[in-house]
Structure 1
Amino acid sequence: MRKSLNVPIIDEYMKAESRHDEFFGNRWESWREKPNSDEILHAWKVVTPSENEKYILDKEMDAYRMKNENGIILQLNIFSEIYNDSILTRTGRIVYHTEPRTNIKLNEKDIDSVVKSWNLNYLIKK
C-alpha cells in the first residue's frame, strides 16, 4: 500500500526504536546519523496507526538526509496523512544541520521537486 501511495517504506537497514504497543505506532531509525557522500540516508520513520480503527495507517513521518556539494547536511522531513488507506496528503520541511539553521516549509509540489532532485523517484506523486 505504501508504494502505491508513494509513501516511504521502512528500509532494511532501519531498526525499531522506542517501541510502543501495537496501537500507538513505532519509530524506526538508521544505525547511522550522517549520510556518506553521494548517498540519501533514510534517517528515521515514525508510523502511527489510526486511533479509531485497528490496523489502519493514519500518519507517517520520515526524514531523509543528504550531504550537498559544500558538505552541508540537509534533512527532508515528510509528514504524510493517509485517509481510508487510499488518499495521501503530504507536507514537509527542509532543515539545514549547520549554522545558520534554516527551516523551509514544503507543500506537495515542493516535496515532489525535492524528491525528484534527490533521485527518490518512487516518492513522486505526480
Structure 2
Amino acid sequence: MDDALRDRLGAGTYLLLTSYRKNGTPVATPVWVVRDGDALGVWTAADSWKVKRVRARGDVLVGPCDVRGNPTGDQVPATAEICDAATTARYRQLIARKYGLMGRLTLLGSRLRRGLDGTVGIRVTL
C-alpha cells in the first residue's frame, strides 16, 4: 500500500507538505516532488520557513494538491529530513528531468539568485 501511495504522490505535479510551527500550528505548502527510491524528494530555498520548521520537527503530513495548495486527496503522516549537498544535487537533476523546461528555468533562476548553497533537498519518508 505504501509503495502505491508513494508512486502516486511521486508522480503528481505538486505535493502538499504540511510542517509544524513551534506552537504546533500546521503550515501547508505546495511543492514540486520527485520519487527518490523508497522516499519522496522536495527541493526548496535553504532559508525558507519550511526548512526551519522541518529542522525543528521532522513529522509532517503529505498529500496530493493543485498549484494553489488545495488538497486533491488525503494527507498522510510522514517524516521529513534536510538532505546533504549530494542528495540535493540529485533532486535538482530529477526535477529538471520531471518538470522539463519549466523545471530547468526555475533551477537556473534559483542558482543565479541564490547560488548552489541557497537551496536544499528535503527527503520525505512515509
Fold shared by both chains (TM-score > 0.5) = no
TM-score normalised by structure 1 residue count: 0.27
Higher helix share: 2
TM-score normalised by structure 2 residue count: 0.27
Higher strand share: 1
Higher RCO (C-alpha under 8 Å, 6+ residues apart): 2
